[in-house]
Amino acid sequence: MEQEDAIRQGLGSLHGIPLFKSFIEGWPQVKAFQARPDDLLISTYPKSGTTWLSEIMDMIYHNGNAEKCRRDAIYNRVPFLEMKVFKGPSGVEQLENTPSPRLVKTHLPVQLLPTSFWEKDCKIIYMARNPKDVVISYYYFHLMAKVHPDPGTMAEFLENFMAGKVAYGSWYDHVRGWWEKKQEKKILYLFYEDMKKDPRQEVQKILQFLGKELSEETVERILHHTSFQEMKKNPAANYETMAFTFMDHSLSPFLRKGGGGFGRDVPGLYFSPPLWLQIFNVCEDLPPLFSCPQVSLETGRTISLWPRMSALTSTTRSTWQALTSTSRWRFEVLISLPRRIALLLALPVGRVDPDGVSFTNSLFPLQ
């Protein structure tokens, strides 16, 4: 335990973004990093499918040759740009010794990305995942990754996550920043939930983005090799080769679940209606991708749910508060959202009536 406590590090602030202190110490090296024109940057908020996407990209770069993708651990095949902990090479040092074309991983928010990536017009793939699955996965990762601060209880960690007081800051600012940047730069913006539902379609999007053609047989090999079942048992992808000093897989495996479910598998975890409202309220000033939903009441009248409760009329506010505070609601509601908005904000899509509740994508389980 003493060794574990000694290795865990706190967070500092880099231009207003919470970041590991050792990463901040290495920031001058990261800021001065020289990208190459043929670099491919993989960017995500933490626990949003980074390793999965990295393995897919390495398989694409090696034309579906699984043996070549077992040549080394994923964290060496796709170096982590801003990584700097204790002894060993930093991410920048790893990348400097990596031949082109390089795959580069980062969790940096868009405003902190080294300018050389923009100057060299590098291709970038960003993947976003709904915040509810992110926060649960991030919590378990903090437990097993000993370089992270102690997460405390799930409730404490959730509070910090909602306040943007975890490494890399606000999930909302992160996904929004990269979404806005894609309007002007060479960025392919993917969604974890889309990749989970139809990986073949998403791999084809990547191939089109790269201007690369692969046979159906090769694509099939890529899909098989990068399936959750295969990656979970692959030492080159599941981080089992990472020293125990840094990761304790007995506390939680690195590839824990690989799906969605919004925390239904977490014992004792209950996302109450007020918490749902809290998550919803953080939507202020988000771009059209994350537009707030509309609610159609049984009267047929449609009301818009604005980012902040203070923006609602007293009648609408009292109606919404009633919706989030009762367990058996006495009127019919249909919340209808574009699929991606519903997935990313994890808002419910379904129906409520006097006889019970039926949600197809419920943010919180009802008691």
- Annotated catalytic residue, options 15, 62, 107, 249: 107
43 neighbors 124 (Cβ within 8 angstroms): yes
Rounded alpha-carbon distances, angstroms, from residue 119 to 36, 102, 233, 271: 9, 16, 39, 44
Is residue 107 part of the annotated active site? The answer reads yes
**Identity at 14, one-letter amino acid code:** L
142 neighbors 157 (Cβ within 8 angstroms): yes
124 neighbors 210 (Cβ within 8 angstroms): no
Q: Which residues contact 95 (CB under 8 A, 6 or more apart)?
A: 33, 79, 81, 102, 104
Q: Which of 326, 319, 359 is nearest to 342 (CA)?
A: 359
**φ, ψ at 157 (rounded to 5°):** -65, -40
Alpha-carbon span 90 to 41, nearest angstrom = 17
- 158: which 2 tokens? 């959730």
Alpha-carbon span 297 to 240, nearest angstrom = 51
Buried b (16+ CB within 10 A) or exposed e, 292-329: bbebeeeeeeeeebebeeeebeeebeebbeebeeeeeb
CA 186 to chain centre: 20
Could you list the active site residues?
107
